[in-house]
A = this chain, B = another copy of it.
Amino acid sequence: MLPQSNSESATPAMSPTIGVFDSGFGGLTVLRALIHRLPQARFAFLGDTARLPYGSKSRRTIARFAAQSAQFLVREQGAQFLVIACNTASALALDAIQDAVPVPVLGVIEPGAAAARAASKTGDVLVIATDATVHSHAYAAACQALGLRALEMACPLLVPLVEEGWTNHPVTAQVIRIYLDQLLAEAAAQGLNPDTLVLGCTHYPLLRPLLEQAVPAGMRVIDSAEAAARSAASQFAINLPPTPADPAQETELHCFATDSVEKFERLGSRFLDRPVGHVELVDLGG
């Protein structure tokens, strides 16, 4: 579906496309970081909002949903590279997605663990994430593979607080303090000396200012969204023209959702930090 220009005409070819996928719209924080790094690329974002949350579903079901979404981005939107901007899908379905499409696929967990490895001096890191991601222990495994000890904790109230728009609210600050106190006490009980906190959910970057105020002095806060965007940008840059984009020209972005387009348009801008524009409804079946 992606028009190709083979001539050296004056009109530029359509820019190479990165597909970004999430079960909802939290993954727009990954997209935001990607656009910042690759403004000259074209982006297609799909939120599988009709079937969210993935967190309560089985691995087989998540894999099927995620593969369908990936195929839409590659076949219908011409994506030459996919970023799975969803921790649950990255944790449970990365292999299935890689099998389903003939383009490179990057999840958020490995880049997040790699960034933690680069940041941590003590080798002990904390990971906050949703219930589903914590239960998968995907971060613990990815960290362990890099020689880190990771303590994971689910923070189920943080996503609803972000979706309510309370990203700079005293209630949210209090909830963060309660969760972090529990996590730090558990780390101390296990004899860990953590110096790094990994944000293992694509909603959490919106809470970064409150989280940075709440962590102990000197603790680094690692954003998996930012780490994944950095990794994707370095892998994808080879596809882009060497000349920088016209700074006056806005990055080309197409957003799709399987349901709840209205909520997507309303909340999406907050995650993306710019208007998401018109969100197109697509039917993937299921």
Contacts and interface: CB of A to CB of B under 8 A. Distances in A.
In the A-B complex, the 9 residue pairs with the closest CB atoms = A160-B160, A56-B260, A157-B160, A156-B164, A157-B164, A171-B174, A171-B175, A156-B160, A171-B171
Contact of A57 (B58, B61, B159, B259): B259
- Most B CB contacts (10 A, CB to CB) among A49, A159, A161, A171 go to A171
The A contact surface, by secondary structure, is loop
A56 B258 CA distance: 11
Nearest to A163: B156
A70 to B, nearest CB: 21
A263 B49 CA distance: 23
A58 B260 CA distance: 9
Contacts of A161: 157
A50 interface: yes
A22 to B, nearest CB: 14
Q: How many copies does the complex hold?
A: 2
A100 interface: no
13 contacts: A49-B56, A50-B58, A50-B61, A56-B263, A57-B259, A156-B160, A156-B163, A157-B157, A159-B160, A160-B160, A171-B174, A171-B175, A171-B178
Contacts of A159: 160
Nearest to A56: B260
A112 to B, nearest CB: 24
Contacts of A61: 50
Interface in A252-267: 259-260, 263
Interface in A155-202: 156-157, 159-161, 163-164, 166, 171, 174-175, 178
A282 interface: no
A178 B166 CA distance: 12
A58 B166 CA distance: 27
Given A50-B58, A56-B260, 16 more contacts: A49-B56, A50-B56, A50-B57, A50-B61, A52-B56, A53-B53, A56-B263, A58-B259, A156-B160, A156-B163, A156-B164, A157-B157, A157-B160, A157-B161, A157-B164, A160-B160
Nearest to A161: B157
Contacts of A157: 157, 160-161, 164, 166
A58 B160 CA distance: 21
Nearest to A263: B56
Interface string A37-64: 0000000000001101100111001000
